[in-house]
């Protein structure tokens, strides 16, 4: 765990646009390096909105979208038109603007029975993404970070999901008890590249604990992200970086 953080790269941006531009460069590098399809798991919540909108507004015709297959790291168990839906957020801020073909979008069906959908989505991943170590290997997984140290929908009170034997599982938000479908640590740590995108001063405490390895950071699911044969990058803005030790600069 310590190694993963020591091995991770930290990119601090001074603004949301600079962070988005830095993200696009990493995406373009990944695309250059990929032979055929590029399989990316999108993160949810609010942070990615600005990144998706920046990409849609500035890179609509610069990226070969046909070769990118879109998945999610997690989804709320709600219909796709629900304001809570990570699919809806991605569609409103990216897909609907650049016109991604439906066949390139592999949505988690939040409207389905959670236990059934966790199995369904595992099968979708297995049926579409090339394997490595016997399980699907994403080219890129985007992750967000909650103030409680959760990532995807793996919350501190269900840290066991990180070690879950299946690649997808049913999770539950600890406060709202909203059911979620989430990918698990097994597939996260099998990825070629994992990029955390974290912004805002409200995240500076948790970012400081995890990247400075303080305050029993192992209790935070995000601190277990450690792609053994992949690259881990923390993309944070200057507000979220407020509590980083200088040695991490």
Q: Which token pair is 136?
A: 């699907």
Residue 74 interacts with ligand 6PG (CB under 6 A): yes or no: yes
**Rounded distance, CA 69 to CA 144, Å?**
20
CB of 41 to ligand 6PG, least distance (A): 10
Q: With helix as H, strand as E and coil as C, how does 210-236 read?
A: HHCCCCCHHHCHHHHCCCCCCEEEEEE
Of residues 19-58, those binding ligand 6PG (CB under 6 A):
43-47
Contact 167, 184 (CB under 8 A): yes
Residue labelled with tokens 């995807």: 152
CB of 128 to ligand 6PG, least distance (A): 20
CB of 115 to ligand 6PG, least distance (A): 19
Residue 86 interacts with ligand 6PG (CB under 6 A): yes or no: yes
CB of 6 to ligand 6PG, least distance (A): 24
Query: Could you tell me which residues come within 8 angstroms of residue 247 by beta carbon, excluding any fewer than 6 positions away?
Result: none
Query: Could you tell me which residues come within 8 angstroms of residue 134 by beta carbon, excluding any fewer than 6 positions away?
Result: none
The smaller minimum CB distance to ligand 6PG, of residues 45 and 80, is found at: 45
Position among 30, 110, 136, 144 found at the interface with ligand 6PG (CB under 6 A): 144
Q: Could you tell me which stretch among 3-11, 57-65, 112-120, 149-157 binds ligand 6PG (CB under 6 A)?
A: 149-157
Q: Could you tell me which stretch among 4-12, 90-98, 101-109, 144-152 binds ligand 6PG (CB under 6 A)?
A: 144-152
Which residues are registered as beta bridge partners of 237? Answer: 13
Residue 151 interacts with ligand 6PG (CB under 6 A): yes or no: yes
The smaller minimum CB distance to ligand 6PG, of residues 131 and 176, is found at: 176
Residue 227 interacts with ligand 6PG (CB under 6 A): yes or no: no
**Rounded distance, CA 46 to CA 26, Å?**
21
**Beta strand 140-143 pairing with 193-198:** parallel
**Closest chain position to ligand 6PG (CB):** 144
Footprint of ligand 6PG (CB under 6 A): 43-47, 73-74, 86, 144-146, 150-153
């Amino acid at each position: 765990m310590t190694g993963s953080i020591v091995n991770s790269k930290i990119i601090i941006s001074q603004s949301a646009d600079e962070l988005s531009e830095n993200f696009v460069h990493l995406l373009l590098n990944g695309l250059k390096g990929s032979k055929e399809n590029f399989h990316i798991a999108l993160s949810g919540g609010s942070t990615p909105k600005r990144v998706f909108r920046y990409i849609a507004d500035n890179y609509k015709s610069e990226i070969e979208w046909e070769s990118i297959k879109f998945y999610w790291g997690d989804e709320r168990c709600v219909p796709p038109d629900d304001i809570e839906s990570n699919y809806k957020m991605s569609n409103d801020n990216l897909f609907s603007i650049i016109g991604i073909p439906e066949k390139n979008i592999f949505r988690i069906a939040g409207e389905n029975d959670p236990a059934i959908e966790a199995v369904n989505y595992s099968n979708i991943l297995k049926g579409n993404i090339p394997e490595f170590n016997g399980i699907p290997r994403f080219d890129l997984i985007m992750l967000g970070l909650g103030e409680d140290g959760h990532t995807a929908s793996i919350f501190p009170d269900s840290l066991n999901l990180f070690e879950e034997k299946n690649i997808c599982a049913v999770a539950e938000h600890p406060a709202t008890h909203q059911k979620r479908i989430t990918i698990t640590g097994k597939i996260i740590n099998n990825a070629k590249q994992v990029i955390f995108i974290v912004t805002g001063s409200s995240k500076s405490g948790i970012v400081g604990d995890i990247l400075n390895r303080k305050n029993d950071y192992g209790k935070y699911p995000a601190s277990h992200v450690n792609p053994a044969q992949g690259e881990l990058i923390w993309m944070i803005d200057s507000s979220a970086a407020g509590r980083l030790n200088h040695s991490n600069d």
